[in-house]
Amino acid sequence: MINFIVRRLIQIPLVMLVLSLLLVGVTQLLTPEQRAAPYIRGDNQASRIEQIIEQRGLRDPFPVQYGRWASGAVQGDLGFSRASGKDVIETIKERLPNTIELTLLTAIPILLLSVWLGSLSALNKDKFIDQVLRVLTILGYSLPTFVLGIVLLAVFYAYLGWLPGAGQLEVINQFAVSDMKRYTGMLSVDAMLNGRWNVAWDALRHMILPAATLAIVSSADIIKVMRNSMLDVLSSDYIRTARAKGLTPGVVNRKHARRNALLPIITLGGLLVINLLSGSLITETIFAYPGIGQWVVQSALQIDLAGVLGFALLSALIVVVMNTLVDILYGIVDPRVRFD
């Protein structure tokens, strides 16, 4: 396994190199004036666009331009994001912890609840609970995210007033965090570490509706796949052998059936985390949550080339790393998997 991990780690920079070549190459379809936009940091620089083009060598051959861009990227210079009004690296450092925080609050309950409900549905095949769960899963993955998000806002924020609507904090608490020491960048965690329990609770309350929206939509597919996988395992020969040996149903289901049924869930779980970490664009936009997803939507609307390119590179890195982790988890869960 160690050799496998080393090989995959070596592949990461190679994959990022190829992807960056493709992404930067696509930008060559734009005019030099359009490609100079990421380097304009204020209205006073707009009149010097020709000077910026010359300084940045945006009319040079592509290999020269790519080498210059790669040299800057290695040093942390991915350009200036007009959508955020900050450098791309600074924007990612500021917003990625917020997306990670929302991912943790969403992904863990989704995976635990989906595995349990999928197993419950399979163990009660064609019974009432199975029929109810199948109907709910159909509703879950057929309901558009933006519709569900707006409905939850209308019910729990506008009508009942139980939960906050948009943003990350109430106005009164936004001033309270200005002098708060940041350890992780995740607001609720940092607030707890600073003993600001009211701020932590406020941040968690603001994440309930976005997390619920993502959980309802994302869990439907995982429940369905877990149910089908569990049914396939329960009908296999080794399960019948385990029952014939006199093992209790609980031992058979938990120790033998569920563990082997988890293999497709590992893949789906990896895809779920990739989607969440890459920014849940629609959800973060609806709830005005200051994560990566909201930023890239604003970047796309403003034709913020540096922002879109930085997001694409970040997403590619997340995909490569998560795929490696998924492959490693396959070997842990299923000893039959070899890393030769």
Q: Name, in order, each residue with C-beta under 8 angstroms of 153's C-beta and a sequence gap of 6 or more.
A: 165, 166, 209, 286, 287
Give the separation between CA 143 and CA 148, rounded to whole angstroms.
Answer: 7
Query: With bands split at pLDDT 50, 70 and 90, how would you rate the model's confidence at 336?
Result: low
Q: What's the confidence (pLDDT) of residue 45? A: 61
Q: Is the pLDDT of residue 117 over 80?
A: yes
Give the separation between CA 286 and CA 165, rounded to whole angstroms.
Answer: 10
Query: Residue 298 corresponds to which amino acid?
Result: Q
Query: With bands split at pLDDT 50, 70 and 90, how would you rate the model's confidence at 340?
Result: low
The 10 Å Cβ neighbour count of residue 285 is 20
3-state secondary structure of 80: strand
Reading the block at residue 138, the tokens are 């159909």
Average pLDDT over residues 279-294: 86
Taking only the tens place, the pLDDT of each residue in 18-51 is 888 888 888 888 788 777 776 666 666 666 777 8
Q: Pick the residue with more confidence: 307 or 260?
A: 307
pLDDT-above-90 percentage for the chain: 3
Q: Pick the residue with more confidence: 322 or 254?
A: 322
Taking only the tens place, the pLDDT of each residue in 174-192 is 777 777 888 888 888 888 8
Q: What's the confidence (pLDDT) of residue 46? A: 60
Q: Which CATH number describes the domain made up of 94-291?
A: 1.10.3720.10
Q: What's the confidence (pLDDT) of residue 38? A: 66
Give the separation between CA 289 and CA 284, rounded to whole angstroms.
Answer: 5
Average pLDDT over residues 200-215: 90
Average pLDDT over residues 52-71: 83
Average pLDDT over residues 282-299: 88
Q: Residue 181's Cα: distance from chain center in Å?
A: 26
Threshold 0.85, pTM exceeds: no
Average pLDDT, the chain: 83
Q: What's the confidence (pLDDT) of residue 335? A: 63
Give the separation between CA 335 and CA 329, rounded to whole angstroms.
Answer: 10
Average pLDDT over residues 164-181: 80
Q: What's the confidence (pLDDT) of residue 167? A: 84
Average pLDDT over residues 207-223: 88
Q: Is the pLDDT of residue 173 over 70?
A: yes
pLDDT-above-70 percentage for the chain: 94
Query: Residue 305 corresponds to which amino acid?
Result: L
Reading the block at residue 187, the tokens are 């607001």
Per-domain boundaries in the chain: 30-76, 94-291
Query: With bands split at pLDDT 50, 70 and 90, how would you rate the model's confidence at 307?
Result: confident
- Whose CA is closest to 205, among 183, 221, 217, 187? 187
- Whose CA is closest to 52, among 74, 76, 34? 34
Average pLDDT over residues 49-70: 82
